[in-house]
Every structure is written in structure tokens, then in C-alpha cells.
Amino acid sequence: MSDQQKQASQQQIKLHTNEKLKLLLTKHPELNDKLAQAKGYMLCQTQRLMLVAIGGQNGLCLLHQNNRDAIVDLTSVNVGLGLGSTQGDRLLIFYSQQLIDSVLNGDLSVQLASVSTSGQQSELSKHPDEQIDIININEDGAIASVGVEMVSLKVNKQLTDEQFAQISLPNKSRSQSTVSPWPYKLPFLADDVINKGYKLPKPYGFSVNLVSVEQQMNLTELQVGFNGDEPVPFEFVDFYNPITDLKTTQLKADMWLFPFMNVYAMLGKVEGDINMDVLLDGNMMLQHLDKNCDALITPISCRLLADKQFTLPIRANVSPITYGLGTILAGAWQDWFVTLPFNITWSKPEHSLIDGRSFTFTPRVGKALNLKELGRFSLFIGGNYLDSENRVQGQLRSADGDFILDYKIHQRNTERWNIVTGFNWDISTQLSWNLEYNGYIGSRDAVISGLTLRF
């Protein structure tokens, strides 16, 4: 069914419901008080047939509450004695929100006893728990029956717009949605934006993300200590090929606090390498350490460092715990969307090897494509700003153990901005998968992939 056919069918059902309800209230003005007290009502166009001992009924209904609608299929089975057929309408007035929710969830059946109808008339019956009034309105045909009727109600998903957004963002379309009420406490102000035509994703999410980042670092504030001495600032060095290659497994829990604002917390485990070559001039080190190599008894460091150059290949394997907080400002219109994610993460040092923090801002713009039964496939492009700052410390030893160097150094990523492209595949309103690449410019390359479950 095309979108145009769907909208035409919805409008036809709404028009029929409004006309029949207006006529019914004119004929039975006492129903005005019942509708005023009700949580909602449902009017069904029905066809009913009874042949001696068994019969049935089917129809299409409009469930209405709080200015929101859902289209429902009605089917029934009659067991008893009777004969005839009718065509007409059936009005159900609900006094319980729980019963309405049961209809929307597809698990409500109504049992009516001693059903009897004949000719063109209206008749009122009461559900046994007194939470539903049922009015049958016959327009054509005649039927008489005595027995039991079991009525089953189920939302027609083809004609009722999906209650939740088909992408993992608040989204507004041109057409006025036919949706059921928002069933969650979050986000705040959900009803206000739903009444304006927006659809919202399910409010809670849990995701597993894999992140791989390789980037050049700017190194400063080197401190060096020799053979157990306390590290002191050391400026006479050159750095070559300072690169970090880190992989993170990350767990993230999020919730939509407001319709266009998502907040989340992250916990991750990093595994990777910090690689840098430090070129040291031995004479400069001796001068910096204030060692007198002309003394009668020369320090050991003079024999080790005088007139020599050293390349210190610092290869640190790191595996700190990371944790962080973030927020996303986001919105969509007709499947075009904009997201503005911010987050900050901290590294908990493992054995005092690395300690740091990172701030990320990744504005994106994209378009969601309708894959019908396969969900929505969203393509996006944007920018990624990353400011990563770490303090690394460690120790190097010579093969014979005569030379021990303790070091501390400050790291900061060289390139702040790069370009991000990728996709998010919303397989359903519950499950999505994303993949993105950060790079193209600068010296940073990153690949991020994640699986998200919404509920």
C-alpha cells in the first residue's frame, strides 16, 4: 500500500466514524455523558453472519483517545443458535485505560453473552466487568441469535502509523500521524511534541561500541630520571614518529531526557600501544643534570652518556579503563536529520601508566532511506573535533640493568578536526547498527561501529 493510499484510507475511516458518532449522539443524547466519562472510544464498521449454530463478524475500527487515533481490526466468533446477517457499526466506550492499552498491545478479547439483534436498531450491552459499554447499530439486514460471542481486537499495523520513530531520532513528517498515546515517562514533554506531529524513538538504549583510533601526538613536558633519581624536566630532546594506536570496547547506556536531547554514560576498556622515539644528546643530559665529568672521581653517568646520542624507543602497551558522559541534541524532518553530539571521557590509569581526558564534538547531517521491511538506512556526513590529552609515564632499562630511565611526558593530539562519514541502519524500532569512518584530512584515522538496543 502506497503512502497516498494509506492516507486516503485513514481519512475515509475517520470521516465515517465522525458521521456515525454524530448520528448516534443525536439519537441517544445520553451517550454524551458516557463519552465525557470515558477514557476513549472505538467505532467499528462491521459485517456479521449467523448460520444456525455458528457465526462470525469482522470489521475495521477507529480507536480514539486524547486526540490520537489507532486503526484496529475486529473479528469475532459466535457460538449458539441464530440465523441472519447484518451490516452496521459497533461502538465500544472504554472506561479503563488498561483496556485501551490491551487493545493497542493486541491482547484484548471481549466476551458477550446472549447477543440478540434484529432489524435497523441500536442496542446497548455491558461488558461483565462494567468497564466497556457496547452499542450495536444495524443498518442493513436482520439477525437473531442467542449464545456467546468472542470479540478479538488487534491494531491494524498497515493502516496505523508506527507509534515510534523509524529512525533513532525524533522525526516529523508532512502528514498528521495516526498514533497511540506515548507509553513512557520519558522524555519529558513527549505528549507536547507528539501532538505537533513528531514521532519519538523508544526512550532507553543500551549499546556496545568498538572504536579504533590511530593518530599522531604532540609531545611536551618530558621529565627524565636516571638510575632511580626523581624525574626532572628535560628539554633537550627531539621526538620522532609519536603515534598512538588504541582500540576500545565501550558500553553505553542512554535515555532521551527531552524530545530533542539525549544523555548517556559510557564505560570502556582500552587496549593499545603508544609509540615514540626520543632522541637524547648525552652531553646535554650531563649538562642538564649538572654532572662534573672532569672530577677526579667521575660519576657513572659520565661514562654512560658523555659524547653519545641515544634514541629511546618508548613502546608502551596501555590498557586503562575509560568512563565518560555525553549528550546529543538532535532532530529530523521527513527523514532529513541533524545531530550534535558532545562527550567527555576520562582515563583511569592502570599502574600509573596513562592518565588523561578527551573531549569530542561530532556534528552530522544526513538522510534516512526507507527500506520498507528492512527498516531505515541513514547516510550521514559531518565533522569530528577531538581534543585528547594524556600524561604517560614508564621506565626503560638497559639489557645489563646498568642504565635505568624513568620518564614522564605530556601528550596531545596534533590534529583536532577531521571529516566523518558513515551510516546507521535502524533494522527495527528496537535494534540498530552503525558504522563510521573519521579521517580524510589530517593525521587521525578512526573507525567506530556499534550495535544498539532500544526499549
Same domain, 142 and 9: yes
Among candidates 356, 454, 333, 336, which has minimal Cα distance to 408?
356
Secondary structure class of 51 (helix, strand, coil):
strand
What's the half-sphere exposure (Cβ side, CA atoms, 13 Å) at 45?
12
Same domain, 218 and 133: no
Q: How many helices (H) and strands (E) does the chain have?
A: 6, 21
Residue 121 predicted with pLDDT over 60 = no
Q: For residue 219, what pLDDT is reported?
A: 80
Higher-pLDDT residue of 324, 287:
324
Q: Which one of 79-93, 170-184, 320-334, 341-355 scores highest in mean pLDDT?
A: 320-334
- Count of structural domains, the chain: 2
Same domain, 128 and 231: no
Same domain, 210 and 309: yes
Same domain, 146 and 67: yes
Peptide bond into 187 cis (omega under 30): yes
Residue 128 predicted with pLDDT over 60 = no
Summarize the chain as % helix, strand, coil (round to 5): 15, 60, 25
pLDDT tens-digit map of 381-400: 999 999 998 887 777 776 66
Specify if 446 maps to a domain: yes
Rounded Cα–Cα distance for residues 406 and 226 (Å): 6
Specify if 214 maps to a domain: yes
Same domain, 139 and 208: no
Q: Residue 368 CA to chain centroid, in angstroms?
A: 15
Amino acid at 50: M
Q: For residue 114, what pLDDT is reported?
A: 44
Element housing 366 (H / E): strand 364-370
Same domain, 142 and 208: no
Q: Which one of 37-51, 228-242, 360-374, 381-395 scores highest in mean pLDDT?
A: 360-374
Mean local confidence (pLDDT), 256-283: 88
Q: Write the burial class of residue 107 (CB in 10 Å: 0-12 exposed, 13-18 middle, 19+ buried).
A: exposed
User: Residue 107's pLDDT band (boundaries 50, 70, 90)?
Assistant: low
Looking at the chain, the whole-number percentage of residues with pLDDT higher than 90 is: 33
What distances in angstroms separate CA 351 from CA 23, 274, 348, one per listed residue?
80, 15, 10
Secondary structure class of 39 (helix, strand, coil):
coil
Specify if 108 maps to a domain: yes
Higher-pLDDT residue of 309, 380:
380
Rounded Cα–Cα distance for residues 147 and 130 (Å): 20
Final residue before a domain boundary, out of 155, 178, 208: 155
Q: For residue 178, what pLDDT is reported?
A: 47
C-alpha dihedral (340, 341, 342, 343), degrees to nearest 10: 180
Final residue before a domain boundary, out of 102, 130, 155: 155
Same domain, 233 and 371: yes
Specify if 417 maps to a domain: yes
Rounded Cα–Cα distance for residues 328 and 362 (Å): 10
Q: For residue 393, what pLDDT is reported?
A: 78
Specify if 189 maps to a domain: no
pLDDT tens-digit map of 35-54: 999 999 999 988 878 787 78
Same domain, 53 and 122: yes
Higher-pLDDT residue of 116, 441:
441
Same domain, 273 and 384: yes
Kindly report which listed range (79-83, 265-269, 292-296) carries the lowest average pLDDT score. Answer: 292-296
Among candidates 185, 196, 183, 340, which has minimal Cα distance to 258?
185
pLDDT tens-digit map of 416-432: 999 999 999 999 999 99
Q: For residue 24, what pLDDT is reported?
A: 85
Rounded Cα–Cα distance for residues 284 and 203 (Å): 61
Same domain, 219 and 137: no
Backbone angles phi, psi at 299, to 5 degrees: -65, 155
Same domain, 313 and 229: yes
Which ranges constitute the DSSP H helices of 51-113?
Answer: 97-105
pLDDT tens-digit map of 190-222: 988 888 888 899 999 999 999 999 998 888 887
To which residue does cell 446497548 refer? Answer: 124
Q: Which one of 4-13, 169-178, 399-408, 439-448 scores highest in mean pLDDT?
A: 439-448
**Spatial contact of 63 and 91, defined as CB atoms under 8 Å apart:** no
**Domain interval for residue 76:** 3-155
**Spatial contact of 369 and 410, defined as CB atoms under 8 Å apart:** no
Look up the CATH number of the domain holding residue 289: 2.40.128
Mean local confidence (pLDDT), 377-382: 98
Specify if 172 maps to a domain: no
Final residue before a domain boundary, out of 155, 175, 208: 155
Higher-pLDDT residue of 272, 286:
272
C-alpha dihedral (41, 203, 424, 155), degrees to nearest 10: -20
Specify if 52 maps to a domain: yes
Mean local confidence (pLDDT), 342-352: 80
Rounded Cα–Cα distance for residues 431 and 391 (Å): 38
**What's the distance, Cα to Cα, between the start and end of the chain in Å?**
28
Specify if 288 maps to a domain: yes
Residue 352 predicted with pLDDT over 60 = no
Residue 296 predicted with pLDDT over 80 = no
What's the half-sphere exposure (Cβ side, CA atoms, 13 Å) at 2?
3
Q: Is the pTM of this model over 0.75?
A: no
Q: For residue 161, what pLDDT is reported?
A: 67
User: Residue 119's pLDDT band (boundaries 50, 70, 90)?
Assistant: very low
